[in-house]
Amino acid sequence: MTTAFLVSAMASQTVSAANEEFGTGDLPPTASDIAWMNANARRVGSVRLNNLGLDRLNADRLSLGLPALTLPTVPHGFEVVPPSLAFSGQSDTTAPLPSSVDNSTLPYFPPIGNQGNIGSCVGFATTYYMGTHMLSLARGINSSDPADMSTKLSPKWTYNLLNGGEDDGLHTPPVLELLLKNGAPSWADFPYANNRSVPANYLEWSRDAAVWRNAIGNRFDSVGEVTDLDTTGGRNQLKSLLSNGYVCVFSTNIYGWQYRTISNDPATTADNAFSGKRICAFAKDGSFGHKMTVVGYNDHIWVDLNRNNQVDSGEKGAFRIANSWGTGWEEDGFSWLSYDALKDTSAVAGADNTDRFPAWGNKAVQYIVARSSYTPSLLGEFTLNSARRSQIKITMGRSSAGATTPSSSFLSGAFLNHGGDFGFSGTASALDGSFVMDLTDLVQSSSRYYLSVADNTVGNPVNLLGFKITNAAGKPLGNAAIGTQGRADNSTARVFTSIGANPLDDVGNTAATAKLVTIPGSHAGSIEIIDDQDVFRFVVGVASNVTIRTTGNLDTAGSLLSQAGTILTSNDDSNGSQNFLINRNLEAGTYFVIVRSHASQSAGDYGLILSATPLPAAHMAISSQNGLVNVTIADGSTAPFAINNTLFSNVASNGAVSSRTYTLRSTGTANLVLNGSPAVQLSGTGASSFRVIAQPVTNVAIGGSTSFRIEYAPSAPGTHNATVSITSNDVSTSPFTFAIRGTATFPRDEHGDSFETGTRVARPSTTVGNINGSADTDCFAFALLAPTTVTVRSTGTTDTAGALFSSTGALLAGNDNASNVDKNFKIQRQLPAGIYFVKVVGQTSTVIGNYSLRIE
């Protein structure tokens, strides 16, 4: 298998824009870069939904008046299925996609950055944007605050470690490898400054062991690549990742972008907010030298590629792009790029193909998967003094306790004979620097751990001043004797330290460093020193009876804590044994267990066993019947829809009323008890315009249902909003809330003017209507349960015109007069199953009168 990774690129350049210089810096991959990508980058066969992707899909469907879907989801990080495991014939996602997403609006995406005139675009795209966003998404961190730089990863880290001591850009694969092996510290730990005139801004390395240790806590899990983005399958794979919350990076020639203006498609209002904005329609020149980040997409955006003022096939859809040239570039630092720009030749007839080239390098993007948490098992910390970091190569190793040479080893992602002829500060000075590498992948009991420092040039020797093994918090567990073998001059200095069985603090001792464990599950632990404590974190998915106990010969004591750190219960000895036992009913949530030795008097190994039995739990579901369709109402919904009866028909404000019936079901494993008084309550500015005219029963058996009815009886014209609230013993949705809305008019407009407020009618049916004047439009909605030939017509003496629309608002057919002398319209059409709308207006603005609408 070969990678589609970029094989053509330009060297770093700067470009002037708005009187400010901006760097680029995306270098072409070497043969070893390509080989690394082939060996390490995941390939995409299909993309499965996670919870965010499903929520976005259903929000898009509800906005179109379609019911929500119940589809299987996977946890974050498990969305990508490799080609060898993907379903036969399905190279892209198997789930539908929302029409648009923009991950830059999520709290995980950092503010737009400015690389200035330094060639650090790869550092910004991969580390600052993609790294920060993916890590924050996996760990639930809000990274949107521009004042809090502790939540954002430093682009200076990757750029300065890997640029070879020159401000000439980066190759992307080594950056991805560095993020996998060494992680990255926060911007606060290693701040970026975008002024090239200060060489330290692109040359200095961090010499602080704490910064390197913090970076390791941000090690990423894996990297991958989506290819063939000029095809529908490849594009849908990328859109699926974006819908699931991912952001990706790509190579481009920013200088070759050809801009147009986003046009307004008259058939939809979904693109109105973007009309008139700039968009890259296509690109020229096949050299690539800039790394950028794709954060979203929008299927509604139209760019008139052939300039014929018509929406042609292939002209719709664009990706949302983030750049690292500050908020003054394009649209506050973002831009749009047409789907069609990724093709060798435009798919649009008559489009300009002169000197055209695909806008993204090899039509591919790279992505990275973050860990929800990471605590290293063992760290190697060393201190060096050198004036030539380019001469240094670091290798870490492990062997059995009695050996003198390592049996397994790995190379650091940072010290690989690069960095230029500078000391660690980026100057010619030989200064001390303390660094930390992760030894977790080498850990075994009763082992000896090695540090090899190789210097490849005579002169400017490197001096090894110290090497120690520590736990994740930096606590020393073993120190190497350095002596005279700590100096390397065109030679290799190798030192080691041996530590016995249970050599490390295997479990963190605070909530922040707690080890995530499964429940049910068995887990091994060790109290290394008498005052050590081990903290475990576990998640209860549903309310359960949880048992936590220890096994083994170590006399242990344990405590159970809430997510907030409150001690819920503790136990020392269970029935005279040395092991503790905790049994407690817990609601769904995150909890901690602290394990200590009894009275902090001993050290040793133990086993921790967790088990859980789900408790009977009540659960509430609410729906409303709309014609023949029973439509679910989501808890917490704030947008009323006619389709689920939360949007009340227009009524007159002179005594007319409209009412809706809702069904409440007990879908859990225990009786549902409504404990509010009354059971259904109304609140909000418009609550006085509604009243509950039939309350539900308050104790609903498992699998049973009850109903309640709400009446809209406004006393004044206008729009009235209220919130329905139902409290119960359902701990996951109490109170259950949803919004309702009604609109009152005077005099009465018997049928709504829009799809949202239209009158629902059956088929076949005849409905009486009235055209009140030039501003009056009557709207109706009906549903088909199977493909049917439908006839829609008006009768009467009023001169009417009619139109038929799909559920998305697309015009299907229109008619004025069924014959040249007839004042009534008639539309006949073969339609598939679905929801449809009919609009009736007067033939001219002066028409007023009654009519009848017949749907057959």
DSSP 309: S
- Given a cut of 50, whether residue 28 has pLDDT beyond it is yes
**pLDDT greater at residue 497 or residue 765:** 765
How much is the pLDDT for 5?
40
3-state secondary structure 498-561: EECCCCCCCCCCCCCCCEECCCCEEEEEEECCCCCEEEEEEEECCCEEEEEEEECCCCEEEEEE
Mean pLDDT, rounded, for 596-622: 84
CB contact at 8 A, 92 and 233: yes
- Given a cut of 90, whether residue 655 has pLDDT beyond it is no
| Nearest Cα residue to 364 out of 253, 228, 245, 242 | 228
How much is the pLDDT for 503?
43
pLDDT, tens digit (0-9, with 9 covering 90-100), for 709-747: 999 988 777 899 999 999 999 877 889 999 999 988 755
- In this structure, of 50-59, 113-122, 634-643, 769-778, the range with the lowest mean pLDDT score is 769-778
| Nearest Cα residue to 460 out of 483, 433, 485, 430 | 430
pLDDT, tens digit (0-9, with 9 covering 90-100), for 564-578: 999 999 998 765 678
Report phi then psi at 31, rounded to 5: -60, -40
How much is the pLDDT for 90?
35
**pLDDT greater at residue 319 or residue 284:** 319
User: What's the pLDDT band for 92 if we cut at 50, 70, 90?
Assistant: very low
DSSP 113: P
pTM comes to 0.61
User: What's the pLDDT band for 500 if we cut at 50, 70, 90?
Assistant: very low
How much is the pLDDT for 714?
85
- Pair of tokens at residue 400: 């059995």
Q: To the nearest whole number, what is the mean pLDDT of the chain?
A: 88
Mean pLDDT, rounded, for 41-45: 91
- Given a cut of 70, whether residue 504 has pLDDT beyond it is no
Mean pLDDT, rounded, for 282-290: 84
User: What's the pLDDT band for 228 if we cut at 50, 70, 90?
Assistant: very high
- Given a cut of 80, whether residue 443 has pLDDT beyond it is no
Mean pLDDT, rounded, for 509-535: 84
pLDDT, tens digit (0-9, with 9 covering 90-100), for 670-681: 899 999 999 999
3-state secondary structure 92-103: CCCCCCCCEEEH
How much is the pLDDT for 654?
52
How much is the pLDDT for 475?
74
- Given a cut of 80, whether residue 7 has pLDDT beyond it is no
- In this structure, of 173-182, 487-496, 772-781, 835-844, the range with the lowest mean pLDDT score is 772-781
Cα(649)–Cα(672) distance, integer angstroms: 31
**Helix/strand/coil percent split, the chain, to 5:** 15, 40, 45
Cα(422)–Cα(163) distance, integer angstroms: 12
How much is the pLDDT for 89?
37
Percent of the chain clearing pLDDT 70 (strictly above): 92
In terms of phi and psi (left: phi > 0; alpha: psi -120 to 50; beta: otherwise), the region of 511 is: alpha
pLDDT, tens digit (0-9, with 9 covering 90-100), for 667-708: 988 899 999 999 999 999 999 999 999 999 999 999 999 999
How much is the pLDDT for 539?
94
How much is the pLDDT for 286?
67
- Given a cut of 60, whether residue 17 has pLDDT beyond it is no
Cα(848)–Cα(856) distance, integer angstroms: 25
User: What's the pLDDT band for 499 if we cut at 50, 70, 90?
Assistant: low
- Given a cut of 80, whether residue 88 has pLDDT beyond it is no
Cα(33)–Cα(89) distance, integer angstroms: 31
How much is the pLDDT for 402?
80
Cα(92)–Cα(84) distance, integer angstroms: 13
